[in-house]
Amino acid sequence: MKTLANVFLGLFIFKAVLAAPPTAAINYDTDTYEVDLEELDSIYDYDGSLSIDQGEIEIGTVLPVVNRPIISPEHVPEEEEEAEESTPKLIDGSSPQGPLSPGVLVPETSGDISTCILCTCIRTTVYCDDHNLDSVPPLPRETTHVYLRFNRITKINKNDFANLNKLQKLDLTSNIIEAIDEDAFRSLSTLNELILRDNRLRQLPELPNTLNVIDVSHNRLGRKGIKHEAFKDMNDLHLLYLTDNSLDHIPIPLPDSLQALHLQDNNIQEMHEDTFCKMKDFSYSRRALEDIRLDGNPINLSKTPQAFMCLPRIPVGRLV
């Protein structure tokens, strides 16, 4: 009975220690702190997988020696779990461990760590959503993904993303962008996703042909905002979202790779029979394009029945 009481008392103390502030309870291997930036750069690779063995990061709890014997093996995982929970995973201003916490990798070796203190950087992704920014902050050169949603950015300048030649995704949803410098995206030779939803954009700048996803829905492109043959050479373009832009035409030619074309809530009144298909080549089929939205436009799709012959599905829109 006395032994049992001891075990319970021990467990109680154990829990109390776990509840103590993590800085007091966790003791990191000092070696982990002393990894310099050069080494940090070499222990992660850019396809997103960590090459560091997670097991190398030791997380131990400093408990008073008197409690040690009471921790039976089945309690150890619980201890690690709790310790890990209190380990900050993100680099931001509030991180008590500073920017070099074990398990967190800084995406830059020289330059704009400052943005990773203001925002949050995980590996090569920069999360800068909802920070009241009125311009694009300086970004680490190794950045692959950038989230700048829900800020107050008004303009994208020529140099904002210059030299980010590893950038794959740029998300600027819900800002108040009115203009983008014509060459602002020119050097982005690996950009796959460009999200500009919910802005005030009147003109699309020059876009890289590497894009898979373009979302410019809910902007003000109007009649002249999209250049002639703007998407023609984008051979990997899958999704093109242009909803709610006061467009008065469908931006042809569209690449064969296209899977979804969202044009709802625009001002498109007519369509050519060659918009999607080829009237001179009846064997042509546009297999990939399964999702065309033309609802919310003053267009009567019944007028051009030939225009959908090569498509796997008739567009969504008014047919009467």
Ligand X SMILES: *[C@@H]1O[C@H](CO)[C@@H](O)[C@H](O)[C@H]1NC(C)=O
Binding site for ligand X (CB under 6 A): 300, 302-303, 320
Task: Specify the pairing of strand 213-215 against strand 193-195.
Answer: parallel
Residue among 5 and 320 whose Cβ is closer to ligand X: 320
Helix/strand/coil for 315:
coil
CB of 275 to ligand X, least distance (A): 16
Torsional sign, CA 127, 133, 136, 139 = negative
CB of 240 to ligand X, least distance (A): 26
Neighbours of 218 (CB within 10 A): 19
Both structure tokens of 205: 């700048």
CB of 223 to ligand X, least distance (A): 23
Residue among 258 and 294 whose Cβ is closer to ligand X: 294
Residue among 235 and 306 whose Cβ is closer to ligand X: 306
Contact 283, 290 (CB under 8 A): no
Q: Edge to edge, what strands does the sheet with 145-147 contain?
A: 120-122, 125-127, 145-147, 169-171, 193-195, 213-215, 239-241, 260-262, 291-293
Residue among 26 and 271 whose Cβ is closer to ligand X: 271
CB of 296 to ligand X, least distance (A): 15
CB of 318 to ligand X, least distance (A): 7
CA proximity to 46, closest of 168, 128, 161, 148: 168
| Bond prior to 253 in cis (omega within 30° of 0) | yes
* CB closest to ligand X, residue no: 300
